[in-house]
Chain A
Amino acid sequence: MFALAWKFIRFDKAKSVGIITAIVISIFLIGQQVGLLLFLMGLMGNLVGNANVKDNQIWVIESQTQNANTLTKIDLRYVQQLQSINGVEQAFPVVIGNAEAKFLDGNTAAVQIIGSDAPDFVIGPNPTRIFQGNLSDLSLPEAVSVEFFNAKSWNTDLYLNKQIELNSKSAQVKLITKNAQAFGGNYVYTNLFNARFYGNVDPSKVSLIVLNLDKNSNKQNVINLINSQYPNLRAWDTKALQNSTVKEILISSNMGMSFGTLVVFAMISGFFIIGLTLYSSALDRVKDYGTLKAIGANKTYVNKLLITQALLYALIGFSVAFLLLIGFSQGVKKSGLEINFSLGFVSFLLGITLFISIGGSLFAVRKISKLEPASVF
């Protein structure tokens, strides 16, 4: 069947090229937009993503906040109180403050200073995202990190030991992160003391408290306990807070709607372009399909022939679109936009390709299905 379908495809070169081009354009656009959205969603949740998160860990923030990027400060004394809860092994205060970074060449940039205690640095950066320098160096006075991919947007060179100013206070780059970007901001990691100093944060306040739990304690029980006993606080599973943050931003910015609409329209247009071209191609070959029926092919065989052609178009179109997407991702990687071709993402794209190709072929299947073998006499 594949050999016969391939001969039909090869014979009608102009239409085949048209169908494959439509698939390639649709899947490339969908892949590009979904890949970009997934990247941005990663950035939205990167406060959690960059942190040194452990399985048995809870993050505690102010009770009304749903978005980890807009934390309201809470009282420092909660650190001691939460430390005393049964099942909590250790409580780590985290401070996040805003600052203006100024470079020797006069360029400036708004940054978020994120600090947690050495040597754990629970809030990050995660060692997998360290490009240059040692995490332990952040414990030094004036030591801060910068993000490799910010060099372009800040229009300045970034290197270790570079002197910069944060809120007009002298600081030194001791660590360079890579792929630890923020959504709509720039993360600068340091220790807790430096974060208070550069971010002008009240010493009696913290932004969030990270709790490491005992091995034997039940995470959900501790979360429930904190949420019931501390009305001003809310304890989160880290993954849940990350998801909540992404959801909040997607809803408030309408990004989900915007990207979703584009993807749906690319799917619809692909579906109809492919469907109608396949239909037109089937009409061109209507005599061949009728002859097949007349000499003894049943309906199922002819339908299979059409669907197999659609399947082959899908596989060819998907392969070309995927190669283009890899090329695109390599091109934008240098500027820090990393499209992650996870198994789920690739499966999603393949599923969409099959849907628009095989779904589109149903117009032709319907037409040919009704074709009478007598029509060729």
Chain B
Amino acid sequence: MNQAIVQVKNVKKTYQSGDTLVTALDSTTETFNKGELTLIMGPSGSGKTTLLSLVGCVIYPTSGDVYLKNLQVNNLSENELANIRLNTIGFVFQQFNLIEPLTALENVMQPLILQGVSNKEAKERALIALEKVNLLERKNNLPKKLSGGQKQRVAIARALVTNPEIILCDEPTASLDAKSGATIMEELKQLSRQDKAVIIVTHDLRLRKFADRIVYVEEGKVSNTISNEEDYK
């Protein structure tokens, strides 16, 4: 049985938008496990990115609790959360979010530098990470000189270089063609087999075949079944 690594218990997230209180996520309880690739699916604006942000210790819940490795994290300070993100979680963003002024190699080195790893060791580890995603020959390229697929590979290398236990991906295939998207999903699937929790937010129903488990989020509510596939197109 896979071990639980992140748990959200009765979490609710609301935003104030003018005079209106918007409920992005309503009383949700969910568990994410190591060694599992979980898809969080839902149409645009359903609350799936909010759930991912809560799991990723990026935002605080309005109510309810978030546990990461049995540590209640919703009471921690911003700096403590930043430290958890740095050491436990790897992020892959929809728009890749590579730091524009840095080369591919420097982008991958950055989390290690933030961890206080020496420049020399960070470089060695970043080169290994880039080699794993077959991008060693583009290590000195700035992000603007890389294709979408190459950017996403660099982003994955950056997410993995610190060997995090949790990998969070926000629409990782949205900016890629079908072939590149499938390759990325295969690689993420492989990672989940290395005892990591891979959690992917997507509204692309074609990715369901890669999932060990699917969590559907619709209008801020979580369920295990899909209500209407048309909403995902």
Contacts and interface: CB of A to CB of B under 8 A. Distances in A.
A240 interface: no
Contact of B58 (A4, A287, A373): A373
Nearest to A376: B97
Nearest to B111: A295
25 contacts: A8-B101, A12-B101, A287-B97, A287-B100, A291-B99, A294-B97, A295-B86, A295-B110, A295-B158, A296-B86, A296-B87, A296-B114, A296-B115, A297-B82, A297-B114, A299-B78, A372-B58, A372-B59, A373-B82, A374-B58, A376-B93, A376-B97, A377-B52, A377-B94, A377-B170
A291 B158 CA distance: 12
Interface string B75-119: 000110011011100010110011111100010001101110000
Contacts of A376: 93, 97
Interface of A: 4, 7-8, 10-12, 285, 287-288, 290-301, 372-374, 376-377
A219 B102 CA distance: 67
B185 to A, nearest CB: 19
Contact of B83 (A288, A298, A372): A298
Contacts of A294: 58, 85, 91, 93, 97
A287 B115 CA distance: 21
Interface of B: 49, 52-53, 58-59, 78-79, 82-83, 85-87, 91, 93-94, 97-102, 106, 110-111, 113-115, 158, 170
Nearest to A1: B113
Contacts of B86: 295-297
A374 B93 contact: no
Contacts of B102: 4, 7
Nearest to A293: B82
Contacts of B91: 294-295
A292 B111 CA distance: 9
A374 B158 CA distance: 18
A191 B181 CA distance: 98
Contacts of B158: 295
